[in-house]
Structure 1
Amino acid sequence: MAERGKKKPVGGPRSAARLGAVQALYQLEMSDEPKVPMVIEEYLRHRLGAEIEGDQYVDADGDLFSDIVAGAWSRVDEFDEAIAPCLAKDWPLDRLEAIIRAILRAGAYELTARPDVPTAVIINEYVDIAHAFVERAEASFVNGVLDKLAKAVR
């Protein structure tokens, strides 16, 4: 039984890996000197599956987490170019909030590099993650962009 006042972990290891990957990609973008191996190691050792500020995080699929972070970050320019045509002409990628860019980049990576994962699963997972950080309209925006991107790359 969970202690009173503490949240129970939600989602499975793959969902937790995706959420952690989005957070790590956000951290990398906000960093003056992004160091992917250090950020991945930090998350694997200290964040994924840990209790932080009274919240218990689900153990994540470390391999999936590492794959998404390293893969999305190493190809960030490529994914930004693929995402740009899916946006309105008057709304460039750099105008989006950093967390939305992180979500879209992680989704773009999985859509292009993980054919083993069904398109609907990828889109649904990242829309769910968007709901954790932004309002409903922005989460719907993520859905629309990832759907357009999926049609272009799959």
Structure 2
Amino acid sequence: MKHSGTRHKARNRAVDLLFEAEAKGVSPMDLIAERRKIFVLDDSVGSIHDYTAVAVAGVAGDQAQVDAVIASHLDKWQLDRLPAVDRAILRLATWELFNAVDVDPVVIVDEAVQLAKELSTDNSPAFVNGVLAKIAELAPQVRAAAAAAPPPDSGDRAPGGHE
């Protein structure tokens, strides 16, 4: 299946930025800001799609929780021992599964598997699919809980909502 849509390209760019930020030990949000500044002067770097920025900000903001969810669904693997591109794909997809309520979880898993086919090892698509299939089972409950929670600016704090 060929994935050439705007959202797929935005996800691909998000994975690239998450991967690069981890490799360089910098904030992915700093990379986005840097790229947006450069784009004004040199459009060869490419613009940052709004969805890319939202997804990267979401992953960066929730990384501890996202990583904890992924780590708890790894069988005989440790998150820090996975290929870095697989970590980036899993982080993006896990964040999307819990937060991108406009996208069906099946589509999110399919997109992640496609990104693994395009960007990672021969074994990665099946691995990514297996991990995300387990995480996707949680998505409806997490999405429902988030929808029922008071807005962040209401002053109420959800249990566990602090770092």
Please give the range of the TM-score, normalised by the shorter of the 2 chains: 0.7 to 0.9
| 2:56 maps to 1:69 | yes
Q: Is the 8 A contact 1:21 1:68 kept in 2?
A: yes
Deviation per residue, 1:117-140 (Å, 9 max, x gap): 001111111111111122332111
SS where residue 123 of structure 2 aligns? helix
Per the alignment, residue 4 of structure 2 pairs with 11
Per the alignment, residue 82 of structure 1 pairs with 69
| 2:138 maps to 1:152 | yes
Q: How does 1:31-70 map to 2 (within 5 A)?
A: 31-32=24-25, 34-44=26-36, 46=39, 62-70=49-57
Deviation per residue, 1:15-60 (Å, 9 max, x gap): 000000001001111123x1333311345565xxx768xxxx8x87
2: CA distance between counterparts of 1:24 and 1:117? 21
Question: Which of the residues 101, 111, 114 maps onto 1:115?
Answer: 101
Deviation per residue, 1:99-126 (Å, 9 max, x gap): 1000000001100111110011111111
2: CA distance between counterparts of 1:96 and 1:66? 24
The change in CA–CA distance for 1:86 and 1:12 in structure 2 (over 3 A counts) is same
The normalised TM-score by structure 1 is: 0.78
SS where residue 77 of structure 2 aligns? coil
Matched positions, count = 134
User: What code does the residue aligned with 1:41 have?
Assistant: A
2: CA distance between counterparts of 1:94 and 1:35? 18
Q: Is the 8 A contact 1:21 1:106 kept in 2?
A: yes
Question: Which of the residues 103, 107, 114 maps onto 2:89?
Answer: 103
Higher normalized contact order (CA 8 Å, seq sep 6+, divided by chain length): 1
Deviation (angstroms), 1:153: 2.8
Q: Is the 8 A contact 2:29 2:56 kept in 1?
A: no
Give aligned-pair identity as a percent: 34
Q: Structure 1 segments of 4 or more deviating over 6 A?
A: none
The normalised TM-score by structure 2 is: 0.74
The change in CA–CA distance for 1:79 and 1:22 in structure 2 (over 3 A counts) is same
Q: Is the 8 A contact 2:14 2:92 kept in 1?
A: yes
Structure 2 residue runs of 5 or longer lacking an equivalent are 141-163
Q: Is the 8 A contact 1:20 1:43 kept in 2?
A: no
